[in-house]
Structure 1
Amino acid sequence: MAMVLAALPQGAARPVSEATIDRVSELDGIYLFDVRKYPTAVQEQLVAIEAENGICRGHSGDDPTTIAACDRRDAMIAEVNKKGWCWGPDEAIEADRHWMRAGTACHI
């Protein structure tokens, strides 16, 4: 898993490459949405959040590796929230939620 995260694009906002999308989407237990429909300013963070979430939710809750992945995921979510994006709509069940602009349907 760490190799995949290290391979994610770093630096200035730019579209996430097809190779990165394919590499992350092939990991067991990770559902990768179509990140290309989101602005480049948040694309690489959303891919990284998804990868960390796969570790966080797919492993033992008392394993230090799992705890660290959850902490990294939560920190990245806070950064995406600061950019005006949230996981919603608030009233939707988890399976129907997606990343969206914060507003009346989704609150940070």
Structure 2
Amino acid sequence: MCYYNAEHFAIFMSLQFGIDVDEEQVGEESALLYKEELDENLVSEELLKIVPEMVLVHYCVYDNKEHEWLVCVASDADTNQSLFLICLKNGEKVHEEILLSGEGNENDT
């Protein structure tokens, strides 16, 4: 089952960017979206190829007064299989990663 929360976010931020995050300062939300509702400016064509018609997206947001960080983890709404992770810094994509097992792609932009 895919679930992405403040604890996962803090670990990701520490490992990926070397940033210590106070989990109590992290906002969390989840949304059920149709594939066509995904922002094509943020979700690459490569990611859209693996997305089913309905996805559950877990969001974590953290604002440290210098930068606003947003991490989105999408999963298949029917199976809860993790699909991909996107990280934004001040609204710009800085990291994307395919999370499907067997898909070892990781792209930093």
Give the TM-score normalised by the residue count of structure 2.
0.29
Query: Whose relative contact order is higher, 1 or 2, with alpha carbons under 8 Å and at least 6 apart?
Result: 2
Greater share of residues in helix: 1
Greater share of residues in strand: 2
